[in-house]
């Protein structure tokens, strides 16, 4: 068992240049567990606001670059490797036991496990005792049991399962909104997935903090650019991370972070209020200063249930185009403002036309933050 490590923290961890029309704007890189990481154990207590109150709801638009530290539930299998059992025999016990990429290990011998050190201890103990491990994994929301017998690696002189694992994440993203009355926030606008397996990360706990943009790699056709940023003021935690959904990360935040373009709460605009035409986005391209930039909303989708890609947007601001070439990786979560209302967030960039991309509607982010949960009318 090896732990795959990525210590260079950058907004761009993997340019997803697959044969797709658009790609989400990744914000996080997996890295090995940090023994100095302070765990945030704040419980999720989201205040619910009924749907008829959304017209009165006001939130503070973000745009700040935030640092993110996150610990996953369980241990994610991200690869296989061969264990040298003898000079003539190499094998991966995990692969032979049908442990697949994207599986999340949640129990060993019916005992919860959520760290690499715990797994290593189990493997070492079983190996020395010539015993197999009963490993419980989650695969596509289904719980499965696999029996794996550790093999002694004659090169490393230790017992191994022949798998690569990860269970922590760190990086930077963009804050979308802060709801001061409920003291909750939303950021990113899309789910965070493992960069190798594309499996959504199941959050156990996490923190957000200030971050500083140091430089920009400009976008060009076929290659999305990126914001490069690093953490600063790490001792000042802004809030916790309680969920990671297809509309971003959400949690509790006791105060709005500094350097906002607008420190005052503004109304939210629901999807039926969004219209084609001019709008603004708030984002950071240098340091920690949030600025507003002009965009055009080219298309608005009609959605009666939560779905991504609610609108197609295009950057029209000459200053932003000059500095970034369009939408860059790291703008994910940048709030979209139209007619004085927060209507959504930037989520995707069109690879072959980086001045254009997608945004999601703010109401879906608010629902995932626990605000504005829509209730169904009685049917009988």
Whole-angstrom CA distances from 110 to 105, 113, 122, 130, 275 are 11, 9, 12, 19, 53
Give the least confident one: 51-55, 235-239, 310-314: 51-55
d(CA 122, CA 111): 10
Whole-angstrom CA distances from 117 to 7, 123, 126, 128, 165 are 18, 10, 14, 17, 11
pLDDT at 36: 28
pLDDT at 64: 93
Residues 284, 206 share a domain: yes
Give the least confident one: 105-114, 115-124, 201-210, 275-284: 201-210
- pLDDT reading at 30 higher than 50: no
Give the least confident one: 45-59, 155-169, 328-342, 359-373: 45-59
Residues 339, 225 share a domain: yes
Higher pLDDT: 139 or 48? It is 139
Q: What angle do CA 246, 250, 252 make, to 5 degrees?
A: 170
Tell me, yes or no, if 210 is annotated catalytic: no
Residues 210, 252 share a domain: yes
pLDDT at 14: 28
Of the candidates 138, 268, 256, the residue with the CA atom closest to the CA atom of residue 202: 138
Residues 6+ apart with CB under 8 A from 334: 63, 174, 176, 281, 282, 283, 345, 346
Asked, for residue 350, whether it belongs to a domain, the answer is yes
- The last residue of one of the domains, among 161, 184, 212, is 161
Side-chain half-sphere exposure of 155, counting CA atoms within 13 A:
9
CATH of the domain at 131: 2.30.42.10
Number of domains, the chain: 2
286-320 pLDDT, tens digit each:
998 999 999 999 999 999 889 889 999 999 999 99
Higher pLDDT: 10 or 372? It is 372
pLDDT at 360: 96
- The last residue of one of the domains, among 132, 161, 190, is 161
* Mean predicted confidence (pLDDT) in 68-75: 88
- pLDDT reading at 55 higher than 50: yes
Asked, for residue 119, whether it belongs to a domain, the answer is yes
152-196 pLDDT, tens digit each:
999 999 999 999 998 887 777 899 999 999 999 999 999 888 777
Residue of 80, 190, 210, 348 marked active site: 190
* Mean predicted confidence (pLDDT) in 61-77: 90
Count of beta carbons in the 10 Å neighbourhood of residue 316? 14
Q: Give me the chain's average pLDDT, please.
A: 83
Asked, for residue 111, whether it belongs to a domain, the answer is yes
Asked, for residue 77, whether it belongs to a domain, the answer is no
Asked, for residue 376, whether it belongs to a domain, the answer is no
Residues 189, 133 share a domain: no
CATH of the domain at 187: 2.40.10.120
Residues 359, 244 share a domain: yes
pLDDT at 127: 95
Tokens, residue 364: 């879906």
Residues 281, 199 share a domain: yes
Confidence of residue 228 (pLDDT cuts 50, 70, 90): confident
Asked, for residue 375, whether it belongs to a domain, the answer is no
- pLDDT reading at 9 higher than 80: no
Residues 59, 43 share a domain: yes
Residue of 22, 332, 334, 356 marked active site: 332
Sign (positive/negative) of CA torsion 318, 320, 324, 330? negative
Residues 176, 154 share a domain: no
Tokens, residue 50: 């009924």
Residue of 103, 153, 317, 368 marked active site: 317
Residues 179, 157 share a domain: no
pLDDT at 33: 31
pLDDT at 18: 26
Identify the helix (H) or strand (E) that includes residue 366. Answer: helix 362-368
Residues in the chain: 380
d(CA 218, CA 321): 9
Q: Got the DSSP string for 25-91?
A: ---EEE----TTPPP------PPP--GGGGGG-EEEE---EEEEEEEEEEEEEEEE--EE-SSS-EE
Confidence of residue 133 (pLDDT cuts 50, 70, 90): very high
Residues 147, 191 share a domain: no
User: What single-letter DSSP state applies at residue 8?
Assistant: -
Tell me, yes or no, if 332 is annotated catalytic: yes
Tell me, yes or no, if 317 is annotated catalytic: yes
* Strands 90-91 and 2-3, bridge-based pairing: unpaired
Of the candidates 115, 301, 314, the residue with the CA atom closest to the CA atom of residue 219: 314
Q: What angle do CA 370, 371, 373 make, to 5 degrees?
A: 80
| Backbone φ, ψ for residue 298 (5° rounding) | -90, -30
- The last residue of one of the domains, among 142, 161, 180, is 161
Share of the chain above pLDDT 90, in %: 59
pLDDT at 147: 97
Residues 262, 113 share a domain: no
321-347 pLDDT, tens digit each:
999 999 998 899 999 999 999 999 999
Q: Which domain holds residue 116?
A: 82-161
The residue assigned the tokens 């991966």 is 92
Residues 284, 135 share a domain: no
| Backbone φ, ψ for residue 64 (5° rounding) | -70, 145
Identify the helix (H) or strand (E) that includes residue 119. Answer: helix 116-128
Asked, for residue 316, whether it belongs to a domain, the answer is yes
- pLDDT reading at 16 higher than 60: no
Q: Are 250 and 192 in contact (CB under 8 A)?
A: no
pLDDT at 50: 41
The residue assigned the tokens 């914001």 is 227
Q: Are 3 and 168 in contact (CB under 8 A)?
A: no
Asked, for residue 378, whether it belongs to a domain, the answer is no
d(CA 108, CA 54): 45
289: left (phi over 0), alpha (psi -120 to 50) or beta: beta
pLDDT at 211: 86
- pLDDT reading at 197 higher than 60: yes
């Amino acid at each position: 068992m090896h732990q795959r490590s990525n210590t260079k923290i950058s907004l761009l961890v993997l340019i997803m240049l697959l044969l797709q029309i658009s790609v989400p704007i990744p914000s996080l890189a997996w890295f090995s567990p940090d023994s100095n990481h302070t765990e945030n154990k704040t419980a999720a207590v989201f205040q619910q606001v009924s749907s008829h109150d959304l017209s009165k709801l006001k939130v503070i638009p973000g745009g700040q670059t935030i640092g993110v530290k996150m610990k996953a539930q369980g241990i994610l299998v991200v690869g296989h490797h061969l264990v040298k059992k003898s000079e003539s025999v190499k094998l991966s016990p995990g692969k032979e036991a049908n442990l697949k990429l994207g599986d999340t290990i949640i129990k060993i011998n019916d005992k919860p496990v959520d760290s690499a050190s715990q797994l290593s201890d189990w493997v070492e103990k079983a190996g020395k005792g010539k015993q197999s491990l009963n490993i419980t994994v989650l695969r596509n929301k289904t719980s499965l049991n696999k029996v794996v017998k550790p093999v002694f690696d004659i090169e490393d002189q230790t017992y191994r399962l022949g798998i690569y694992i990860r269970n922590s994440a760190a990086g930077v993203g963009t804050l979308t909104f802060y709801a001061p009355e409920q003291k909750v926030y939303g950021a990113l606008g899309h789910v965070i997935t493992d960069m190798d397996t594309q499996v959504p990360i199941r959050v156990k706990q996490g923190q957000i903090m200030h971050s500083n943009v140091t430089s920009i790699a400009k976008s060009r056709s076929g290659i999305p650019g990126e914001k490069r940023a690093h953490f600063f003021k790490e001792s000042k935690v802004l809030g916790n991370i309680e969920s990671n959904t297809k509309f971003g990360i959400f949690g509790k935040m006791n105060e709005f972070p500094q350097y906002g373009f607008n420190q005052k709460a503004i109304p939210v605009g629901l999807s039926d209020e969004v219209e084609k035409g001019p709008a603004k986005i708030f984002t950071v391209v240098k340091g920690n200063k949030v600025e507003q930039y002009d965009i055009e909303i080219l298309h608005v989708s009609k959605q009666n249930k939560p779905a991504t890609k609610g609108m197609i947007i295009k950057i029209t601001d000459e200053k932003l185009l000059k500095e970034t070439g369009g939408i860059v990786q790291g703008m994910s979560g940048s709030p979209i403002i139209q007619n004085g209302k927060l209507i959504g967030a930037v989520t995707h960039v069109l690879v072959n036309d980086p001045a254009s991309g997608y945004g999601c509607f703010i109401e879906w982010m608010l629902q995932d933050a626990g605000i504005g949960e829509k209730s169904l009318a009685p049917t009988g």
